[in-house]
């Protein structure tokens, strides 16, 4: 069969019988994984890393899994938003949010090697990965800091991380309406639910201000946990606890606005996005950074700066406001 006929036929099948295509691609992906495992097992046995008896038993298990693929379903129905939107933590499994977004969610399909989004391009929306894996390639994250202020401004280091089922792409860029800071490439066939930028901002309007705030809280907690894990080892920074008990909350500082730090009530103040200075000494602090206890007041020096405040104790639920005043 000529290649163009095969391509056309595949395209028609994919368009008309998506549930069949999902089953075929899933079956092939499983077969590829098992084949790679068999190859690795052969290598490990040849080097004596796995002894002969263990090697034979493992080989049997893998061959049984290949045989089991003969009973793999011929069709797998596409997933529905109802089943997966609760995985977005800032939706908090609330019916009102899930109902709002499920009508505005589209199912997107990507093949191995497809680019979901590119560094430097404006975001189209957010992607909730349902199945598959993508690699994220980026230069050093900016954290909202002008490159001229960075001590490593000449660095060309590239970063790679991986995301899979349950991960969300594009949140920060959508919040800021700024260019993507990474390129996402599919390492396998991948399915994701897509919420457009317009629909996301419609949600911000309908659920103002809580929805946008909770996305910032999720990102702030992730940044703090990633960069200051040892310092925060004794802190319970689960998203739901922070929302319900106000154990940790996000403050926003615009350029030249000031914020007083109460070092008795505030156990940690962490700048997770943007930059500030100590109002007294003018010492700069660039995200991500824990503001030292010697600092009593800070002033924003970026267009927008976000600070994660971790309470010294667990106060009654409040609106999370601190003493933020306009600069003179």
* Dist. CA 108–CA 114, nearest whole Å: 12
pLDDT digits (tens, 9 = 90+) for 172-200: 999 999 999 999 999 988 889 999 999 99
- For the residues 137-148, what does the mean pLDDT come to? 83
For residue 208, the SS3 value is: coil
Tell whether the model's pLDDT for residue 76 goes beyond 80.
no
The token pair at 211 is 């929805």
DSSP 317: P
- For the residues 25-52, what does the mean pLDDT come to? 88
The token pair at 80 is 């529905």
Q: Select from 211, 215, 99, 237 the least CA-distant residue to 168.
A: 215
Q: Select from 37, 77, 43 the least CA-distant residue to 58.
A: 37
Q: What are the residues facing 275 on neighbouring strands? A: 286
Segment of 33-47, 63-77, 236-250, 284-298 carrying the highest mean pLDDT: 284-298
CA-based R_g, the chain, Å: 24
Query: What domains are there in the chain, each with its CATH number?
Result: 3-71 (no CATH), 81-208 (2.60.120.10), 229-325 (2.60.120.1030)
Sequence-ordered alpha helix ranges (H) in the chain: 3-16, 18-46, 52-68, 81-84, 95-102, 171-176, 197-206, 210-227, 239-245
Percentage of residues in the chain having pLDDT higher than 70: 86
Residue 255, C-beta contacts closer than 8 angstroms, at least 6 positions apart: 300, 301, 302, 303
The pTM (predicted TM-score) of the whole model is 0.73
Tell whether the model's pLDDT for residue 240 goes beyond 50.
yes
CA angle 86, 90, 95 (to 5 degrees): 45
Q: Select from 222, 233, 265 the least CA-distant residue to 246.
A: 265
Q: Which long-range contacts (CB under 8 A, 24 or more apart) does 156-165 make?
A: 160/135, 160/136, 161/135, 161/136, 162/133, 162/134, 162/135, 162/136, 162/187, 163/129, 163/133, 163/134, 163/136, 164/129, 164/132, 164/133, 164/134, 165/129, 165/130, 165/131, 165/132
pLDDT digits (tens, 9 = 90+) for 106-135: 999 898 899 999 999 999 999 999 988 899
Query: What DSSP string runs through 78-133?
Result: PP-HHHHGGGSGGGTT-HHHHHHHHTTEEEEEE-TT-EEE-TTSPP-EEEEEEES-
End-to-end CA distance of the chain: 75
């Amino acid at each position: 069969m000529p290649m163009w006929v095969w391509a056309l036929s595949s395209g028609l099948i994919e368009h008309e019988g998506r549930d069949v295509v999902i089953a075929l691609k899933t079956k092939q992906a499983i077969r590829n994984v098992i084949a790679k495992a068999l190859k690795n097992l052969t290598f490990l046995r040849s080097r004596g890393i796995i002894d002969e008896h263990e090697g034979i038993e493992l080989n049997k298990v893998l061959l049984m899994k290949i045989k089991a693929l003969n009973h793999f379903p011929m069709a797998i129905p596409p997933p529905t938003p109802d089943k997966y939107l609760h995985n977005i933590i800032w939706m908090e499994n609330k019916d009102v949010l899930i109902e709002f977004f499920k009508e505005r969610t589209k199912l997107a399909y990507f093949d191995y090697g497809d680019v979901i989004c590119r560094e430097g391009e404006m975001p189209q929306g957010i992607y909730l990965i349902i199945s598959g894996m993508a690699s994220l390639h980026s230069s050093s994250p900016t954290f909202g800091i002008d490159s001229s202020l960075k001590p490593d401004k000449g660095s060309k280091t590239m970063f790679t991380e991986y995301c899979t089922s349950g991960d969300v792409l594009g949140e920060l860029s959508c919040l800021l309406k700024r260019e993507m800071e990474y390129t996402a490439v599919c390492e396998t066939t991948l399915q994701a639910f897509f919420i457009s930028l317009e629909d996301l901002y419609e949600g911000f309007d309908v659920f103002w201000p809580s929805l946008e705030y909770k996305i910032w809280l999720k990102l702030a907690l992730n940044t703090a946990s990633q960069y200051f894990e040892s310092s925060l080892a004794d802190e319970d920074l689960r998203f739901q606890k922070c929302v319900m008990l106000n154990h940790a909350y996000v403050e926003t500082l615009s350029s030249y606005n000031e914020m007083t730090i109460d070092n008795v009530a505030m156990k940690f103040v962490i700048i997770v996005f943007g930059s500030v200075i100590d109002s007294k000494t003018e010492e700069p602090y660039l995200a991500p950074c824990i503001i030292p206890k010697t600092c009593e007041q800070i002033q924003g020096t970026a267009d927008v700066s976000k600070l994660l405040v971790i309470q010294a104790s667990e106060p009654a639920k409040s609106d999370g406001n601190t003493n933020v005043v306009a600069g003179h």
